[in-house]
Structure 1
Amino acid sequence: MIAWIGAQKFTGYEAAAIQPLIANSPIFSWLYSILSVRTFAAVLGSLEIVAALLIAIRPLWPRISIIGSVMGVLLFLSTLSFLFTTPGVTVPSGLLVLSVVPGQFLLKDLVLISASLWTLGDSLGAALRRRGAHGDGERR
């Protein structure tokens, strides 16, 4: 899922769709002064694809998968921050009601950050078990 979302960042449609999210972010908006909208989206997409590949490699190299999971957590924490910085995330109704776009669009990142945290714990556990299986912690 993360790789699929990352691959879509290479399209003009997706680059334009995330542009208001980035432009309204006090943390990330400065990036548009050095990167075009399409270039920034491609860099973001590349990071998402790398994170997905590193997570997927867990059966072979759980220690490397830890890096992918941490990348996923950081990527989705940053996109969840857009819930607080993007105008139009909520609709005026007196309650916290998310708009379809961008509010509900961003909400998927709660599931993705949860999955990244789960894979992080799973990879850490596998790496520790693998290390413990070697006794002194060295690979043979």
Structure 2
Amino acid sequence: MKNLITLLANMQPQWINFTRFAIFTVMVWIGGLKAFQYEADGIVPFVANSPLMSFFYSKDAPEYKAYKNPEGKTVQKHIDWHKENGTYIFSYGLGTVIVIIGLLTLLGIWSAKIGLIGGLLTFGMSLVTLSFLITTPEVYVPNLGGDFPTPQYGFPYLSGAGRLVLKDIIMMGAGLVVASESAKTIKARQGKL
């Protein structure tokens, strides 16, 4: 056990770089998927209900509910609605921003200043994502009726979308860890000047 504790303590810089790589992987994968129709359709409830982002769409919430495409299926009428709404253009832009944040975070391995920016942007993006827990009705289990004596819907019962959003608190913490490590490196270099 003592050897494991020593190993983990001595490898902290490598674990922080692993965290940068983990952020990069998630951001590039998720950001890259924003170029695909099913992913662009999937973020509509979050964006449409967000006071920070709803202006990117031309249609108001909750009109999108009538135009949902289940994953793996497309209905041309729904695709046309999403094109008119600006769903795909917004998703392409958002995906590009997410990929750039991932790259900036990864570059923190070699550049503390770039890594600081990437870590802070990761934190900020996660903060916006977590705001969906307040603004998006779809993050909680809806009342579908049923015979169970205790209602299990609404807050705090997270839906699949809600569980996915809540995980961003880990990304928020990781962003702060890599940003603080970059800040520490910058401060140490300034002290040597």
Q: What TM bracket, shorter-length normalisation?
A: 0.7 to 0.9
2:163 to 68, 85, 104: 104
Hey, what does 2:176 align to over in structure 1?
Answer: 117
How does the TM-score come out when normalised to structure 1?
A: 0.86
Q: What do the CA deviations read for 1:36-85 (whole angstroms, capped 9, x no partner)?
A: 11111111111111111111111321011111111111111111111111
Instruction: Could you tell me which runs of 5 or more consecutive residues in structure 1 were left unpaired when the two chains were aligned.
Output: 136-140
Pairs aligned (count): 133
Hey, what does 1:138 align to over in structure 2?
Answer: none
Instruction: Could you tell me which runs of 5 or more consecutive residues in structure 2 were left unpaired when the two chains were aligned.
Output: 1-25, 59-83, 142-150
Q: Alignment RMSD, CA only?
A: 1.8
Hey, what does 1:48 align to over in structure 2?
Answer: 98
Corresponding letter in the other structure for 1:70 = L
Q: Higher mean Cα deviation, 104-113 or 29-38?
A: 29-38
Bigger-Rg structure (1/2): 2
Hey, what does 1:18 align to over in structure 2?
Answer: 43
**Secondary structure at 2:43 match in 1:** helix
Hey, what does 2:145 align to over in structure 1?
Answer: none
Q: Which runs of 4+ in 1 moved over 6 A?
A: none
Identity among equivalent positions (%) equals 35
- Within-5 A mapping of 1:1-140: 1-33=26-58, 36-91=86-141, 93=152, 96-100=156-160, 102-133=161-192, 135=193
